[in-house]
Every structure is written in structure tokens, then in C-alpha cells.
Amino acid sequence: MSNLLDDQTPVGCNVSRKLTHMQLRLYIHIGLWCALFAVFLAFAIPIVGPALVENQIGPAEVNRSIDAYILALTGIEHGSEKLPDVFSRLPKAGPLIIVVRKDDSQSEFLGMMIGYVSWPREIKLIKLATPTAEKELAGINPDSISGLVFCLVDPPAWLGKPIRLGSSIFLVPLPKTG
């Protein structure tokens, strides 16, 4: 009997030690994930919460997105209709030249918006690295284009009187446009 007890005691101890060890691991596991999730939510909720409540629904209009951007950038309301209407009066042949300022995200974005709404007209984007457009525009043949749009760029005086389409956008129709 005593031999039997002697044999079983270390085994029983081992099993109990293993169980305690596993329980400890389980508690660490649960504690770790609870803490991680708590920190995750503590950082996330102050960022996500306000973002969800900002702005209001609508308006449920067809050109909701493009009109909102054009309005913000140029002050033109319903720009998705007004701008194509202006461009439709330009000669059909030749690309529309869109002049933007390089590394100016607002100017570049406005140029792309003009490219978007001027479809199906062919366009050409010119990115200016210098404050004036003299050098880049000098090589353009006026007969080969339908017009020039300047986005947050002042058109050079020698091109003639520009038409202001919005707060930061000018159209220079070519003489043949009338």
C-alpha cells in the first residue's frame, strides 16, 4: 500500500501542477485580450463616434458629389451642369487645355474635376512648376486647341481677357470661338 502511494503522489502533483499552469495561462489569455480590446476601444470610440455624427443626410441629388466639390473649390452652384454648358460653346475640334499648379493639391484636383465634367471632349492637363504660365504655354498652337481653363492659376495677360467661371477658375476661349 505504501509503495502504491509513493508511486502515485508525484503523478498527482504533476497533474495538479499542470492544471494550475493551464489555468494560469487561461487567465493570462483572457486578461490579455480584455485589456487589448479595452485599449482598442478607448482609442477608437473618440475618433469613430464624432465622425459618425458629423454632416447631415443629403441632398439626394443626381450630381451630389461632383456639385459639392465644384461648389467648395470654385463657388459655382450646380457646376456639373453649368460648366459643360459653357464648354459646349467652344469649338468642337482640338483638346481643352487645363492648366493647374504642380504640387498644389487643390489646383490639381480642380483640374481633374474639369476633366471629369468636360467629357466627351479631349483634354490635356498642363502642370505648371513656375508661378507664371508663360513658358509652358508659349509652345501651344492656338489653332490646335479649343480653349484653356486655368485652375487656381492666373492666365497670362497676352492670352486676352479671360472669362471668370468661378472664384478660382478662368476660361480663355480662343479668338475663333467668338
Sheet holding 163-166, edge to edge: 123-128, 96-101, 147-151, 169-173, 163-166
Q: Which of residues 30-69 bind other proteins (CB under 8 A)?
A: 32-33, 36-37, 39-41, 43-45, 47-48, 50-52, 54-66, 68-69
Helix (H, G, I), strand (E, B) or coil at 1: coil
Burial 16-48 (b: 16+ CB within 10 A, else e): eeeeeeeeeeeeeeeeeeeeeeeeeeeeeeeee
We find the least distance from the C-beta atom of residue 165 to other proteins, in angstroms, to be: 19
Q: Rounded distance, CA 124 to CA 35, Å? A: 55
Q: Which x/- pattern, by CB under 8 A, does the window 62-101 give for other proteins?
A: xxxxx-xx-------------------------x--x---
Residue closer to other proteins (CB basis): 15 or 32: 32
Closer residue to other proteins, CB minimum distance, 69 or 91: 69
Give the nearer residue to other proteins in terms of CB position, either 25 or 89: 25
Backbone φ/ψ region at 42: left (φ over 0), alpha (ψ -120 to 50), beta: alpha
Which positions lie near other proteins, rule CB under 8 A?
22, 25-26, 28-29, 32-33, 36-37, 39-41, 43-45, 47-48, 50-52, 54-66, 68-69, 95, 98, 109, 112-113, 115-116, 119-120, 122-125
